[in-house]
Structures are given as structure tokens and as C-alpha cells.
Structure 1
Amino acid sequence: MSLIDDFIESSNDTLIPSYTANTSIFLDPAGFEPADPVHMLETGFVSTGLAEDDTEIFSLDRVQFQFPAPLVAMSVSNEVLVMALETNHILRIDLQQAHDVEDIEIPRKPGEGKIYKIFFDPTGRHLLITTEQGENYYLFEKWKKAKVLSKFKGIIIESVGWNRFNGSSSDTSTKKFLIGSRNGVIYEAEIEPTDEFFKKEEKYCKQVYSLNENVPITGLRVEQFPVTSRKYFIVATTPTRLYQFVGIATSSRDDEAASMFESLFTRCEVNPVFQELPGDLPYSELQFYSQFQGVAKSFAWLTGPGIYHGSLVFGSQDVGDSVIDSAKLLPYPITPSDNDTSTITTEVPLSFALTEFHFILLYKERVKAICQLNDQIVFDDFIPLKAGEEVRTMTVDNVKNTFWIYTDSSIFELIVSKEDRDVWKLYLEKQQFDTSLQYCKNPAQRDKVLTTQAEHYFSRKHYLLSATFYAQSTVPFEEVALKFVERDERDALRNYLLNKLDKLRRQDRTQKTIIATWLVEIYLSKINNLENLAASSAGSDDINNYKVEQNVLEEEFKGFLEQYKADLDKKTTYSLIASHGRTNELLFYASLISDYEKVISHWIQERNYKQALGVLSKQASVDTIYKFAPVLMENAPSETVYVWMRQPNLNPRNLMPALLKYDHLKAPENTKTNQAIRYLQYVVQQLNNTDPAIHNFLLTLYATQPTQDESALLQFLASEGREPYYNLDYALRLCSQNGRMQSCVHIYSNMGLYEEAVDLALKHDDLELARINADKPEDDDSLRKKLWLKIARHVVEKKGDIKTAMDYLQHCDLLKIEDILPFFPDFVLIDDFKEEICAALDEYNSKIEELKAEMEEATKSAESIRLDIRELRCRHAVVTTGEKCSMCDFPLLTRPFYVFPCQHAFHADCLITKVTKHLNPRQLRRFKDLQQQITKEMNNVNRTPDNNEARGRQQQPAGSLDRLRGLILPDTTAHIGDDVAVVVPKVDQLKDELDDLVASECILCGDMMIKTIEQPFINEEENDLLESWAI
């Protein structure tokens, strides 16, 4: 169904013609009228194989449209259809809005002739109209009136070569294009549509080439080279010749009025390239096919002898070169004569069109389609013409790829559907398998091509290629495998199995394992066979070829194992490889599947410990390292330790059996380094291992070394610090058993047994070591002095070295000469230590003088204190009668009070209440305790016989400080009588302490006030009152 029909059916009788009243054109909303019976013939291009599709590729539909006048010319481009009528009217229809038909009249003077041809550009915006008298008009889209092209006057246009590449899509200009005239002249022109009345649309129209013969230029095409934007290919045809022009065009940006193609034609004018086909046909047509509006891929030229067609190959062609490739001439099909059916004639088509795979030929009464691939007629249909109706020609919308046939009163659309439906079959028949695969529409077709291709190569003994395509087909596996086995083509079988294995799905585990195992056997047999051939061809020229082929196959086999290791059964594969004696391949496979134990065991059996260690270092299993540690440590200790040190996640405890088995003295390496100590040092120092067993083992190795040098052992002991990870008792016992005296002294010292450490050092006459350990108890001077006395006594009594003993007085400030004198013999000359004795006496004398000075200073200080006390007793403060308490603001003299040097005065009870809030718990307990003791003492005084007399005296004025202090407590404690004078000193002492506690400082000026800076102005007791005022 045509594009117009699609619209008509969806409109449902809503189409209303919209053109001038004097026009009777209308569209029939009912669609097509019943077509006359059409006899159809399709041969050579019908699918008879898989996925049969009966849909017709070509179908001819009549467009229901009534013309007010005979149709002269028609053109379709970019879904816009224009028609020229004999009445010099132009009808323009946008096929997206088929109900809207524009009727445009061409202004024509008497005698100017009728419309001859129209030319529509690919965008559907620019229309050229030429008449039989050489009058030319231009119609732009949306214009309601065509304009005369005065510069084109006298040119009868036969063809137009639109420039599809120069310019932008938004440009309203036609861009520079070519015009072929009736008299063999090619013009270059450019039209710029304008609405200005006095401005001409045509910018210029200039002759750029002439064929020098008066023949019409029936076809014209402009193509741009894909790579070089300024290089163009131009084709021009006459009824008998096809001209090719290749060259560089002038840039259109240089000068808008300058010719773009003139220089190109000038270069080709001397020796023009053309192809001539003889004939007396007065007309011809030139058609091109391009995909997706790109550069043209092929061309076809309608001539007298037939259709001359070929492909276009754009490359590095220059002036005089041809772009046409693989050109052929297709003779017109023979048909029965109209008058005599027994007579066969060759009829020349009126017009034709070119599709991707077909030539569509238009005759007076019928239309035919010929397949380009096999030159067979695949469509032959009579055109249902009415009486007196005459076929005009064909037109093609190259943008939307639609095909139209028109007569003087009808329009037909030739609908092309699934043109490439059976192309795969035709290419398959021509044995162009790759191209055939490109056009396959479903898996069945693809399988048919692959199967045919495989059988084709198999029949020609190209077994490797055949295997490749058999693997992609659905031919049964057993059938193909038997074919290659019967021909003894093992290489082809291997290729087939590899390709088949690669195409199996992941879930086909069983099939994949079987095929992969079979391939292992084939590979191994082939490798062994090549090895045997090479051995038997020793001394001949073929040996190198065999070895090269063997090496290539071995690498291929390794690649196969690497790719399909997951599909192979380990046990079966091991058995196959071992049965063929392929050790290298066995080790390679074991490494691939991470079976490192097998590889390491092999190299150990071969006593190749370096290879074993190389494999061991590449794997990550610690259990494997533990398993082979003893044998490797025994035979290659240095390399083994290096591998261990590169595995920080090892547990050293699990390596202890290997380290215990290692004997440094029996090691094969000529080295002085104990590898066990080297590894344990790394574990302790670098990995910060804290395992006591490891530290004890390392200590054992150090202590049991055959050398007498203890520096390494001492360095290890020192590095452990005060809280070592090794067992001190074990270490002491071990060092003692192995005669490591210095280490024992260090351990004693680390245990805090400094006396034992010094004794052991002195026992071995190591005075320097004894002195070092004697200074270690820094917080215990008595112990340090005792240790130094031991050293001094040893020096004096054992060695008789009094001078050295005297030197110790300089090293230890705790020792005095009198401390070591008892160690001297009863009769000894003092010449050696006379100076030390004199120095000691002088020191004692100096200390005595210092003590005397300190005593005198103390006496002076005591006297000064006594004077200050006497002065304090005489201090007083003047209090007026109107003085008020700084706390409660009541008269001060109404109750007992305190007065401070800052002139602040407080009632005693106010001061006590305030101060007790700031006392800490300990001070508060002491305050209450003092109150209770004073009360108790005063109660004892009140029980005496002179109690009443004492009370009487309480009423007498008292001006002393004792009177003021007595006011702090209740009246019963105010005064004590002479008969109880024994109690008074104790009470005074208690009151003094209470004064110090309560009145040590002014609460408004002292530290107590400063400490209250962080306290809030409103305390917790006043929160309730504050909340009661809240609004």
C-alpha cells in the first residue's frame, strides 16, 4: 500500500480539497478503485527453502486522484510530490498531509510553449520548471507563485545535477549545481530564493563545459569524494555516451559568484573520459543508488543496447581516472510481440529505476523487475491502463526510497517490500558465502549457508576451513566427527572440536568435558608424532620444520589448557599426559589448576630445589609451605628462608619442626649465617612476633652457638627490654649450662637480682660488668652502696689493688673512704691513699663549718619570729558603735564578731555559716570536732564549786583577745576560773585552731571569694521561688 493510501485509510472520509474554484481536482477518500486483473510472473527469486515467506516483493498500486488536465511531468522528493499539468498548473502535495493539495499557476505569455520537464532537488524545497521554448521558472517551498529565471532564458533543461554536499541544511539556497541542456552544454548556477521584488533569485548561470556536439545531456550527477571534501566526481550522459569528470573544485567560500566546477571541467577538457555504447535511442536515463543518503555505491545507465551498470569505488583517482568499477551491460529481456505471440522481440524501456538489488523497467503497458544478482526477471506486471491512457515515465524519491509511475491521467506507486528477503539464497548459489551470511534473516538461513559452505570446502579437501564452518552449523556432531576420522584428518578434527567447544554453553558441562578430554588426547598424539618425525629425520632438512611445528603446537596446547582448564577432569588429564610422557605439559597443567604440591614434589624428586622453591614462592597456600618446609630447609636453607620471609602470614610455630631439623654445621652452603636464626630474627624484629615459644627457641639457638662470642645473644637479650617474652628462668638455666656468663649477669639484672649479678661478675673477675650492674638499682641507695662495697672489697682483698679501690670513690658518690678502710690490711702504707684521707678530712671540716652557719641562721630566725609574735599581741582594730556586719547588715556590737585587716567585720555566727559552705568534707569534720571538744572542756569547768563565781565574772567586761575568742561558742564556754587553770591551755589551743579554720581570711577579699566565680547567682534552693514568678 502506498503512502497516500495509508493516509486515506486513516482519515475516514475527512479529506476536503482546498484549491481554487476553477479546479476540479479531488481526492477520493475511499482509496483505490478495484484494479484490473493483473497477471503476475515471478521466477528466480522466490524462497523455496527455510522460513518460506509468500509476501510479494513488488506490488503496483493505483493512486486515486483525478486530474483537471493531462499530466505532463511529475517528481517526488523527501515525501513531497509535484505534478505539472498541460494547463501550466503545478500541483504540490506533502504526502504527510495528503489532503492538502496546492495549485500553483505558472505565468505564461502566448506562444511561450508548454511545460516540458520539472526537476526537484533532494530536499524537496527547490523546483525547476522548463518549457519547450526554453523558458524556465523557479518555485520555492511555501511559495504560491513561481518566478521566471531570466538568466536561464533559452536553455531547455534536460537534466540537473544537484549539489548535495556543499552547504548546510539550514541554507535556503540551492547551492551551486549543474544543468544539462538539450544542445550538449553544461551550465553551473545557483539560486537564492528571496521575497524582494526587484532582486533576482538566480545569482548566476554560467557555461562550464560543452560536449561540442548538439546532443541532449540526459543525465547529470555530482558526487563528492568521501575523504577529500574538495574532490568531486561528475557523471554526464547522452543517449550514447557516459562521461566521467574527476578533479578538485574551487571552494565556494572564496567567492560566492565565482564558478565552483569550471576549473574541474577545464582540466578534463583535453582528454575527456567517456564510455560509448552505440545505438539510435533518442533518450537515455542515469540512475544512482546510495544508502542512507550517503555517497553513491552503484549506478545504472539506460541505453539502446541495454542497461550499463556497475559499482563506484572512490579512492585516489585524479584527472582522467575512472571511478566506475566492475561495469557490465545487461541486455533488455526478450518478450513476446504484441501482434504475434510466437515472435520474440526486445523492447527498450521508456524509463527505469535502480534499487539495491533490482532494475525496475517501465514499458508502455507493463513494469518489470530484474534481479541484479542473477539477471532474472522477478516481477512482471501489466499496468491497468484506461482507454487512450499513455504511460509517461518513472520518478524516484531517493530520500524515502519510494517509486512512482505516472501516465497522462494516473499515478501508480510501485511498493518494494523486503527486497533483500531471498538475497542470501542468490549469493549462496554464487558461492559468495560471506555476503550471503550478511543477508540471512534467521538462524535457519544462516545454518543453511554455513552447512553449504562447510560441504563446499570439504569436497575441495580444504578440511581446516570446512571444520570451522561445520562447527558453526547444526550438522550432527557424530556425523562431522566421523567424516574427519574416516579421512584421517586429525588437524581438521582438532579444529572442529575446538570451534565446537568454544560454542557450547556453560551449562553443557558434560559435553564440554568429553570434547576437551578428546582434544587433550589429539594434541598429545600430534606432539609425540612430530617429535618422532623429527627424531627420525635427523640430518635432513625436514627436521627444522618438524621442530618448529612441534613448538607451535605445544604453545597452542598450553593455550588450550589455560582456556579450558575448568572443563577438564584433573585425574583423567593427569593420566593422559603422564601416559604420553609429557613432563613439561604435566607440570604446566598442574600449575594452571594450582596443584602446586604436585609440581613441588616433582622438582624435589628431581633434587631441583631451586625450581621447587620458585613454584613455592608463587603460590599462596601456607599449608603447602609447612608441608615442604623440612626437606627444603635441610637442602636449600638460605633460599627457603628467603621464601618464608616473603610470606608474612606464616605462623612460625608451624615451621619450628623444620628449624629444629636444620643443622647449621651440616648445611651444604659455605656460609657462616645460621639460617634458622636469620628467619627467627626477621620474625621477632620485623614482624614483631610475641610468641614466647619463638623467643625461647631463638634464645636457645643463640646460646648453643659454637662461638664464644656473646654479643649477638646479649643484643637479643637487651632488645627484649625489662619485660621480655622469653622465660627468664629458662634463659638463666640455659645460659648457665652453656657458659654464657655475661648473659647470665644480664638476666640476673633483668630479674632484679643485682647482688647475684655483681657476685657472678666478680666471680669471673669482670669488674667492668660488676660496676655496670652495681649502678642499676638507682632508687635503692643502700643496695647500690652495698654492691659497690662488694666490688671494693673484692678489689682490695682479692687483688690487693688499693689504688683501684680508691678510684671507686670517684665513681660512686655513696662510698666514703671510711667505708673501705676496714677492708685494708692492718699494716699498710698510706702513701697510696694519703691524699684521699686528707681530702676526706677537709670535706668533713667544710661540712662542720656549714652546719655551724646553718645553726646561727636558725637562731636568728627564731628570734625574729618571737619579735613578730609579741608585735601581733599588740595589734588592734577600732570598731565604731555604728559599725554593721558585712554579711547581715545588722549592728556589729550586738553579737560576738570578727574584724579583719581589710576593715571587713562579721558576726561570728554569720562568718561561721558562710565559711562552712566552702569547707571540704575533711575540714568540716574537723570544725565540728573542735566545737564538740571545746563544749566538752567548758562543761567540765562549769561543774566545779566555783561555777557561780565563774558565771559572775562572765558578765564583767573583757578587753583581751581571749574575751573575743570566747564569744564564738555558747556562754558556758566564755570564761574559765583560776581553780581550773589546768584546763585553760587546752581550750585556748582548741580555740586557736578553730580561729585558723574559720577566720584564716576574709571571705569577701580572700581566695574563698575567688573560688565562687563559677557558682550561679541563683542557687538550687531559690529555683522554686524563681519558677513561682514565671509568667
Structure 2
Amino acid sequence: MNAVITQVRLMFNLDVITDCVVSSNWLYIVVNSMSVVRINLESPSTVENIKIPAKHGPNIGSIYKIFTDSTGSCLLAVTTKLQHFFYSDSSQKQEFNLISKLKNTPTVSAVFHPSRKGDFFLGTRSGSVIEVSVDIKAGEHFFKRDLKYTSQIWKGERNENVNSIIFRDNGREILLTYGHEILKWKTDSVTNMEKFMSQKPTVLFNNPFEQELKELVESPNSSSLAVILSPQHVGVLHKGDSEFTIYETENPKFLMLSNFHLIAVTSDSIRITGLLSRELVQTLPLPDLKQIKGASIDYKSQTFWVFNDEELYEIKLENETTGLWKMLAKQGRFSDAFEVCDSAESKSYVLEQHGYHILETEPDNTVYAAKLLGSSNAPFESLVLRIMDTTKVKNNSEALVTLIKTRLKHTNSKFQQILLTSLLAECGDCVDIHQYAYDAETIQQILRKRGDFQKLIDFSISIKDYRTPLQYYISNSMWSNALELIRQHGSEDKELVYRYSSITLKYCPKETVDSWMRLSDLDATKLLSGLIDYSEVYRGPVNENQALRYLKHIIIKEGNKDEVVFETTLSMMCANNDSNETELLNFLKERSLNHYDNDFALRLTLKFKQYKCAVYLYTLMGLYEEAVILCLQVGGDEMFNMSIEIAEKQASNEKLRKYLLRLISKQAIETKGPKAALQFIHLLGIGDLLAQFPEFESLDELAPEVIRSLEHTKNKLMSINSEIDESLKASEEIQTEIANFKKQSVLVEPGEPCQLCHFPLAVRKFIVFPCQHGFHYDCLQKNSRAHYKNDIQGVEECALCDEDNLKSITTPLTIDF
């Protein structure tokens, strides 16, 4: 620690400094009898001058003492005529307001309430304490309403000075110097100060030198108190002590406390004593040996100030805490030592020593000791050995776990984290391992070796390794646990489902399929192996076949169209040997649009004798002859009727229909006799039907039917002959009409001219005669005889080649010369 005293250079001249206080970087200086200068030390160029209004006249005296609150925003000034003035930076003007009700109050000390702004307490020469409350926003005129109240809240038995008042613990503790005593009031809560101080105080200290105690000062962290006891003695109450320690100091005038040092201002020097070492640390000579008039402490910024009549000085304690941590640690004050540590190494040293101290002195608090040791940088191996070797440690296992966990939180080395997490697993604690670097395989091996299978399962799940707990469940036949794990985590790791499908289907098929049906986006092809293995050994009812249940679900409900899945389902359904084949047939019909191999399905149905399904597949493939042949080969009324239905459905192909019916009728005649042919009389002609009988087969039973058929054929042939005659007659009539139509129609070529004007016919209305001569309607009208001019439709002969014009050919020409 090095103390430096520096003179403060102000931007204005000071005549005489009467008093000076500093709080929260606000400096107040009494520069003359009627005003106080206010300077913001963070911006010292701005200076405010707070004055007592001139209206109060010269009878108020001059300012000799000022007091401020912890924020530096309120100021109380006391004059030599015992007048009291109040200022707040919340007011509108930089002027003091007179508190007239406090006139002639012999104030010697004052303190502001730590939390109630505008409330302050006065200590008087008559041994009383007065509480005052004012409105901090009072304007230029300080009316009665601005003074909320004044009240004497305590009066001592003797008329001795109350030279200082200190509030501690947010007002729940009050200290004051009264004569040669320091009195103390303390409570859990304060609602009324008068009621609080009406209680009998405790005498904290009684000056053995029988001298009146002056100002009691407190350190910024409230850990120490100091007071002048006599011209040669100073009393200090150190933190943790119950009594004041008395120091000899030559002629102390003022005292100030930092967190770790006592600053005593004497007549010729400033003496700085360490509160921890309780030894003199440094002595500073006073500049120019001028008499110091007062001292002030800024508790917020922890700066120290002294002044004389003309000059102001600031005392700075540089590197105050250097080396203190080791001294405090040696004294066993580890919390204080840690607070003043200035490096990582010093903090580690304090934590280590604190941990060792607890191990040796508090055997029931070893877990806390391990936490402290783990927070230090001491070698981990030595800490482990120290905990294990300490005979007073009753449960070093918990302490070791705490040590490991704490060290994990304070190390960034990946290698060390892997080592520590493995050690933590050795101790059986894996709750927080996944937060750090770890080697999963090593930890799982450790847990297996320890037999901590539940911890192994919990750890594996926490790192999303689901296979390890699954293997454990399966190897121990814990099927419900295995399936629950698959249900919970199968959606994020589908390989769990695929890999263990066979074994879970084998031992709990329904539950396994239930879990699969709850999961989405499973690749069914990866489950086929397990499903096939299960189905091959299954011998129960069809409706309880879980493999089929799942495959039908994904095909019907989920719309799976994978060819392999469909063919596997067909194989299982065919192998089922369902005699009525209803379910398989319906399945094929409903899925007929899916992409599956018809040939494969046909081979399956034939192999497992699912003939109805085979017939359906034949028809689906257009192999109607094969379908009919299969029906006939299988036999039975149902299959026989099915073959007839197949043939009848081929109405669009009469040739194929008759061919199929001939096959069926032949089979019927061979198996059931000639009478069986009766049902085909209306489906096949008698000729086609007779061709199916053997050569020497007797047809007596069929004679009536044959006769009726022949008569029907005869009638039909006669009807056909009649229809032919009518057709021939109609044909001749049509030919005649065509010939007549040819006479009545003429083909007009494009561009053909009128035979009279030689312009194209198509430009105007025209008439064409059977002789192929065409005329414009108007041209023909002009050229026709008079009696046809009004009815040109009556013209029957061509105007060019009619009978009259033809006769004129033989008439000789007459030429007139």
C-alpha cells in the first residue's frame, strides 16, 4: 500500500475554508459566511453557488458547519446564530431554505436517513436527538407545509454533547457518541423512530480516559469503527471484535477509516495504520505544516479529504489491498481475504487454505471444504489424497464427488474433463456428466463393472445412446421396458426399431406392432425380415397374425405402394390357406391398381391353391381361356359357374365367347352327361352344341329340345328369306331413284360461262338445263318468248338447243347484198 496526498487545484480563489464535505463525488465548500460552493468532481468545471437569501438579513450569523446525505443531493447548513438552512438539488433555485422551527437548536452533529430522502437527525449539546422531515422539492419560499415535522426522539439523562450519529443496517441499528459513551440501539424492523429510540440503549463503549468522545467514524464497508479517546489514544472496533482496541497516537485531531486502514490526522502528519496488521504502515508529513481544520470521507468513491483555511487535499491509498489477502488468510478471515484478492493465484491460495482449515476444524462440514478445494488451482491429486487421508472425514465419498464436480466447473481442459467425468462415474455419480467432455464408452464400462445398471441406463439415455439400455432390457427379458424405450425414442433413432424388430416381434408381437403403428415414416422394407421370421413360425388364428396386421395397416391405412411390401403381404396371405379365399380375393381386388407383379401373385396363388384368386388374376391379365380351364380343372359348382360368368363377360368378342362356352359345355357333357347340355341350348347353337357330343352318344333325352331347336331354326331361316326378298326389292327401288336423280342433276364446273352473255354463271342467279347449258336468270328472261317472260320457271327446253333452234339448222341462209 502507498498513500499519496495531493492538493486540489480549484478554478477559483478561496479566501477562508470554514467547512468542507464530500459525498458521491459531490464536493461542498463553505467559502464565506453566506454561501456554499457545490462542485461535481466528475465534471469539476461546473461550479454551483448555493446562497442564503439576502432577505434573512445579517442577524442569522455565518455558516460554520455543513452536513450532506450519502447521495450528495441534500445539504444542511448551521450558522453561528443556530439557524438551520436546507438545500436539495431537486429544488428550482440554488438557494437555501430556512427551517425556522429549528431556531436556537444547539446542533453539533447531523446525519441523514439512509433510505428516506429529506429526513435527517440532529445531535445537540443538550444531549438530545431531534428528527426532522422536510419536502425536498420545496420552492423559493419554505412554508410550514414544506416542513413535515420535527420531533425530539431521544433525550439523555445528562446534558452532554451528542457528537456523532451513525445509521447502520439500513436504519435498523443506530450508534451515537454521548459524552464519554457510545450507545447502541438495534431492532429487526423500524416503523417509528421515536418508539425505537425510546428503548433502553446498550452501552457499546465507555471511554476509560474519562474524556468526551468526539466524532465516531465508520469504514466504507461498515466493518470497523474508530473514535478519538484522548490526546494520545485512538479506539478502533475491528470486524469480529466485541471490544475496541486502543492505539497510541500522538495528538490525533481527526480520524478516517478505509476498509483496511486507519487514517489519523495529527498536528504535523498523517499516520496510516493497518487494521489487519494493527501496525503503522506509513506516515505522511503535512504540506507546509499548516493546521488541518477538518476531514471528510466520500464513502461511495472511497476517497479521503482534509483541508485547512486556504487549501484542500485529497488522500489516495494506492494498491491498498496488495498482500492483504495472505495476511487475512493467516488470521483465518478467509471471506475477507477472498474479497481483497487481486489475482487468480491469490484467490486459489485463499480457497485452498480455507478448505484445509475446514477439513481440520470442522469434520462435519467436509463437503463444503471439498467445494472450496475444488475451486482452487491446487493439484487435483494432492487434494484427493488430502481428503482421503484426513482421519476426521467421516464420509469422504460425498466429499470426493463434490471435489470432482467443483473442479469440473472450473476447468476448460477437455482432457481434464474426460478424466474427471470418468472419476465421477467411478464414484457412482453420473447426473451431470453429459454437461462436460467425457468418453462415453469408458463411463459405460465403469458403470457395468460397478453393476450400476440403472445409472448405466440413465446415463446412456441422457447422451442419446438408446442401444445400450435396449440391449440390457432384451438380455434380461424386460420386454415392456424395451418397447417403452422404442416408443419414446424410436422416432429420433429409427435404427432401434429396425435392429430389434425380430426379437421384439418374437416375444411380444402385439405390443411391438402397436408401437410401430404409433411411429411415422418407418421404412417397412427394413422390417420385412423380422415380419417374415415371425410369420413363418406363427401357428395361431389368422386375425391374430401380427405381421399381417402391420403389413395391412401400412398398405391400407398409410397407402404404402412398395412392390416388395405388397408381395410379402400376398405371400403371407396365400400361405394362410383360407379355404374361402374371401379376404385374399378382396385384398387383390382393392389393390388392383397398385404396382405389383401379376405373374408373381399368380404363381403364389397357384402354389398355395388359392384358385379363386388365381382365376381373378388370369382374368385381370386377359388370359380368359386359362381362367376357364383352371375353373374346369378345379371343378365344383362354384368354379363351374365362375367359368360361365367369365365366358358371358366376353360379349364384345363373340368368337372368344363361343369358344369358351364350347370348352365349358364339352366339360359339362363329359362329366355330367348329355342332359347337362340343356343349360347351353340358349347360349350356343345346336350345331355348336352337337359338336361337343361323342360320335355314338344317344340323344334321346335331347330329342324334344333338338326338334324345338330345329323348328326355331326353320322359322328363323324363313324370316331371314323374307327379309332378303324385302332387301332385294328395296335395292331395286334405290337404283331407280339414283338413275332418276342423275337425270335431274348437272355438275357445274368452276368458271363455266353463261351461254348468252359469256360471263361466269356463279356471279348471279342462274339456271342449268340437262343438256349442260347454263344461263343467267336475267339473260334467259330477256331471251325467252313473250309468254315465258313473266314465268321463267315454265321454260322446259334449253334456249340454245331446243327444238326450234335445231330445226333452224336446215333453213338455208339468205344473204342480202
Q: TM-score, normalised by structure 2?
A: 0.68
The structural deviation recorded for 1:752 is: 1.4
Task: Name the amino acid aligned to 1:896.
Answer: P
8 Å Cα contact 1:451/1:473 also seen in 2: yes
Whether 2:183 is the aligned partner of 1:242: answer yes
* Aligned residue number for residue 84 of structure 1: 30
* Aligned residue number for residue 615 of structure 2: 745
Whether 2:147 is the aligned partner of 1:178: answer no
* Aligned residue number for residue 134 of structure 2: 190
SS of the aligned residue for 1:350 comes to strand
8 Å Cα contact 1:165/1:224 also seen in 2: no
Q: 2:348 aligns with which of 437, 442, 447?
A: 447
Gapped regions of structure 2 (runs ≥ 5): 694-698, 746-756, 783-797, 803-817
TM alignment of 1:18-167, pairs within 5 A: 56=2, 58-63=3-8, 70-84=16-30, 90=36, 93-95=39-41, 96-97=43-44, 115-124=63-72, 126-137=74-85, 149-163=99-113, 165-166=115-116
* Aligned residue number for residue 711 of structure 1: 582
Task: Name the amino acid aligned to 2:185.
Answer: Q
The structural deviation recorded for 1:186 is: 1.0
8 Å Cα contact 1:162/1:221 also seen in 2: no
Task: Name the amino acid aligned to 2:103.
Answer: K
* Aligned residue number for residue 646 of structure 2: 773
1:750-798 per-position Cα deviation (integer Å, ceiling 9, x unaligned): 2213344345435432244235434544644664576568768877996
Say if 1:786 and 1:74 are closer, same or farther in 2 by CA, change over 3 A: same
* Aligned residue number for residue 271 of structure 1: 199
8 Å Cα contact 2:662/2:692 also seen in 1: no
SS of the aligned residue for 1:431 comes to coil
Say if 1:155 and 1:67 are closer, same or farther in 2 by CA, change over 3 A: farther
Task: Name the amino acid aligned to 1:334.
Answer: E
8 Å Cα contact 1:133/1:156 also seen in 2: no
TM alignment of 1:496-645, pairs within 5 A: 504-508=411-415, 523=426, 554=428, 556=429, 558-559=430-431, 566-567=438-439, 574=445
* Aligned residue number for residue 343 of structure 1: none
8 Å Cα contact 2:35/2:49 also seen in 1: no
Say if 1:161 and 1:513 are closer, same or farther in 2 by CA, change over 3 A: closer
Whether 2:373 is the aligned partner of 1:428: answer no
Whether 2:597 is the aligned partner of 1:726: answer yes
Root-mean-square deviation (Å): 6.0
The structural deviation recorded for 1:445 is: 0.8
SS of the aligned residue for 1:403 comes to strand
CA distance in 2, matches of 1:659, 1:197: 98
CA distance in 1, matches of 2:459, 2:39: 75
The structural deviation recorded for 1:435 is: 4.3
8 Å Cα contact 2:138/2:146 also seen in 1: no
The structural deviation recorded for 1:209 is: 2.8
Task: Name the amino acid aligned to 1:448.
Answer: Y
1:368-401 per-position Cα deviation (integer Å, ceiling 9, x unaligned): 3444445444444343453xx4332212234543
SS of the aligned residue for 1:448 comes to helix
8 Å Cα contact 1:151/1:204 also seen in 2: no
The structural deviation recorded for 1:285 is: 1.9
The structural deviation recorded for 1:475 is: 3.8
8 Å Cα contact 1:284/1:301 also seen in 2: no
CA distance in 2, matches of 1:60, 1:162: 29
SS of the aligned residue for 2:583 comes to helix
8 Å Cα contact 1:80/1:124 also seen in 2: yes
Q: 1:735 aligns with which of 602, 605, 622?
A: 605
8 Å Cα contact 2:224/2:259 also seen in 1: no
CA distance in 1, matches of 2:457, 2:73: 76
SS of the aligned residue for 2:18 comes to strand
8 Å Cα contact 1:368/1:379 also seen in 2: yes
Whether 2:151 is the aligned partner of 1:207: answer yes
* Aligned residue number for residue 789 of structure 2: none
The structural deviation recorded for 1:211 is: 0.4
8 Å Cα contact 1:192/1:201 also seen in 2: no
8 Å Cα contact 1:308/1:328 also seen in 2: no
The structural deviation recorded for 1:273 is: 3.2
8 Å Cα contact 2:510/2:546 also seen in 1: yes
Say if 1:122 and 1:464 are closer, same or farther in 2 by CA, change over 3 A: closer
- Identity level (%): 21
1:388-427 per-position Cα deviation (integer Å, ceiling 9, x unaligned): x433221223454332112344432222334444442243
The structural deviation recorded for 1:746 is: 1.4
Q: 1:896 aligns with which of 745, 755, 760?
A: 760
TM alignment of 1:375-454, pairs within 5 A: 375-386=278-289, 389-454=290-355
* Aligned residue number for residue 353 of structure 1: 256
* Aligned residue number for residue 753 of structure 2: none
Q: 1:302 aligns with which of 220, 227, 230?
A: 227
* Aligned residue number for residue 163 of structure 2: 218
CA distance in 2, matches of 1:740, 1:445: 90
CA distance in 2, matches of 1:85, 1:631: 98
The structural deviation recorded for 1:640 is: 6.5
The structural deviation recorded for 1:365 is: 3.2
8 Å Cα contact 1:792/1:805 also seen in 2: no
8 Å Cα contact 2:470/2:482 also seen in 1: yes
CA distance in 1, matches of 2:526, 2:96: 104
Say if 1:440 and 1:815 are closer, same or farther in 2 by CA, change over 3 A: farther
Say if 1:976 and 1:719 are closer, same or farther in 2 by CA, change over 3 A: farther
The structural deviation recorded for 1:745 is: 1.8
Say if 1:76 and 1:485 are closer, same or farther in 2 by CA, change over 3 A: closer
Say if 1:410 and 1:681 are closer, same or farther in 2 by CA, change over 3 A: closer
Say if 1:578 and 1:410 are closer, same or farther in 2 by CA, change over 3 A: closer
CA distance in 2, matches of 1:193, 1:952: 128
Say if 1:785 and 1:244 are closer, same or farther in 2 by CA, change over 3 A: farther
8 Å Cα contact 2:238/2:275 also seen in 1: no
Q: 1:363 aligns with which of 241, 245, 266?
A: 266
The structural deviation recorded for 1:185 is: 4.9
Task: Name the amino acid aligned to 2:111.
Answer: G
SS of the aligned residue for 2:6 comes to strand
Say if 1:744 and 1:380 are closer, same or farther in 2 by CA, change over 3 A: same
CA distance in 2, matches of 1:765, 1:419: 116
Gapped regions of structure 1 (runs ≥ 5): 1-54, 168-174, 226-230, 251-263, 292-296, 312-325, 338-346, 524-552, 874-892, 900-904, 908-948, 961-973, 979-1031
The structural deviation recorded for 1:149 is: 4.8
Say if 1:400 and 1:648 are closer, same or farther in 2 by CA, change over 3 A: closer
The structural deviation recorded for 1:429 is: 1.8
The structural deviation recorded for 1:721 is: 1.2
Say if 1:776 and 1:215 are closer, same or farther in 2 by CA, change over 3 A: farther
The structural deviation recorded for 1:284 is: 2.4
Task: Name the amino acid aligned to 1:302.
Answer: V
1:338-383 per-position Cα deviation (integer Å, ceiling 9, x unaligned): xxxxxxxxx5x43323433444333333333444445444444343
8 Å Cα contact 1:565/1:592 also seen in 2: no
CA distance in 2, matches of 1:583, 1:192: 71
SS of the aligned residue for 1:450 comes to helix
SS of the aligned residue for 2:243 comes to strand
The structural deviation recorded for 1:725 is: 1.2
Bigger Cα displacement from structure 2, 373-382 vs 421-430: 373-382
1:217-254 per-position Cα deviation (integer Å, ceiling 9, x unaligned): 323456795xxxxx97665543334353869889xxxx
Task: Name the amino acid aligned to 2:162.
Answer: I
Say if 1:784 and 1:518 are closer, same or farther in 2 by CA, change over 3 A: same
Bigger Cα displacement from structure 2, 203-212 vs 403-412: 203-212
CA distance in 2, matches of 1:224, 1:471: 34
1:805-855 per-position Cα deviation (integer Å, ceiling 9, x unaligned): 77997xxxx899999999996656989x99x999x99x99xx99xx9xx99
